[in-house]
Amino acid sequence: MDVAAEGKAIAKVNDLVIFVPYVVPGDVVDLQIKRKKNKYAEAEAVKFHELSPSRAVPFCQHYGVCGGCKWQVLPYSEQIRYKQKQVEDNLKRIGKIELPEISPILGSAKTEFYRNKLEFTFSNKRWLTSEEVRQDVKYDQMNAVGFHIPGAFDKVLAIEKCWLQDDISNRIRNAIRDYAYEHDYSFINLRTQEGMLRNMIVRTSSTGELMVIVICKITEEHEMELFKQLLQFVADSFPEITSLLYIINNKCNDTINDLDVHVFKGKDHIFEEMEGLRFKVGPKSFYQTNSEQAYNLYKVAREFAGLTGNELVYDLYTGTGTIANFVSRQARQVIGIEYVPEAIEDAKVNAEINDIKNALFYAGDMKDMLTQDFINQHGRPDVIITDPPRAGMHQDVIDVILFAEPKRIVYVSCNPATQARDLQLLDEKYKVKAVQPVDMFPHTHHVENVVLLELR
The catalytic residues are 414
Phi-psi region of 342 (alpha: psi -120 to 50; beta: other; left: phi over 0): alpha
145 and 156 in contact (C-beta within 8 Å)?
A: yes
Annotated binding-site residue numbers for S-adenosyl-L-methionine: 288, 317, 338, 387
214 Cα distance to chain centroid: 20
**If we measure between CA atoms, which residue out of 45, 163, 151 comes closest to residue 443?**
163
Buried b (16+ CB within 10 A) or exposed e, 290-311: bbbbbbbbbbbbbebbbbeeeb
Half-sphere exposure of 244 (CA within 13 A, CB side): 17
Annotated binding-site residue numbers: 288, 317, 338, 387
DSSP-derived 3-state class of residue 224? helix
d(CA 180, CA 184): 6
Rg (CA), the chain: 24
**If we measure between CA atoms, which residue out of 424, 383, 421 comes closest to residue 404?**
383
At position 283, the amino acid (one-letter code) is P
